[in-house]
Structure 1
């Protein structure tokens, strides 16, 4: 099980919690006709957010294998994240060992790039516009 967070295009996501959660469930059906590993399909703000977040939490599907081989203390491996990039959202799965840091950095970068934030894994499902 992973610690999951999502950022989203605030202009496309509904305002009410109930409508937002319905929209979120549609997003996570992964039914858009594109590869969910390619950032070029998402909005410019989310692309910029993605470029910043992978500096902190590299994409496990694109990280250089040689870097992993050199990672003797597993520092890099513990920071790898899995990204699913949609037209209007990016869903991210982290290791629980980095949950607090991932939450803090994702919120900070969401604010920097003016995108929304959803704490998928929390019991209250915090949504920040």
Structure 2
């Protein structure tokens, strides 16, 4: 189980929620003929986002995979398509990841989808939209539970 977020190219994603969710599920089939661990060929804004995000949460696989044992606990699994980047993180990092991911999406002018959002309608943000208040859903308690369990084990 992981904490999942996605950024997307706002020029290709549909804006209407139902169409967006259908498009998201199509993207998550990972049917492109590409190496999904390599940022080559992704949309320019997504590439900027990926390189900025790796400064905070390094890649665990692909050509940019961290070789630093001190970074492995902060590593993310980035699945990079031509129009989306789907990222999975340990639940123990969710509280830390969420604001950084969201902020960089806005800064890089890409869309943001809160895949793990539990309000029944995970946030979908397009550049230029007004950001909703940060999610305060039950996922935050799940993240806190994982973090406490991890700290107890150390």
- Give the ranges of 4+ consecutive aligned residues of structure 1 lying more than 3 Å apart after TM superposition: none
Following superposition, the deviation at residue 40 of structure 1 comes to 1.1
Which ranges in structure 1 are unaligned for 5 or more consecutive residues? Answer: none
Tell me the residue number matched to 1:10.
10
Larger radius of gyration: 2
Helix, strand or coil at the partner of 2:101: helix
Aligned twin of 1:25:
25
Show the counterpart of 1:103. Answer: 98
The whole-number CA distance in structure 2 between the counterparts of 1:128 and 1:48 is: 17
1:15-94 → structure 2 map (5 Å cutoff)? 15-61=15-61, 62-64=65-67, 67-68=68-69, 71=70, 76-94=71-89
| Aligned residues of 1:45 and 1:114 also touching (Cα < 8 A) | yes
Aligned residues: 121
Of structures 1 and 2, the one scoring higher in RCO (CA 8 A, sep 6+) is 1
SS in 1 for 2:32: coil
Partner of 1:125: 122
Q: Is the 8 A contact 1:78 1:97 kept in 2?
A: no
Gaps of 5+ in 2: 127-154
TM-score by length of 1: 0.91
Q: Deviations over 1:25-47 (max 9, x none)?
A: 00000000010011012011110
Residue 138 of structure 2 corresponds to none
Q: CA RMSD in A?
A: 0.8
Q: Which has the higher helix share?
A: 1
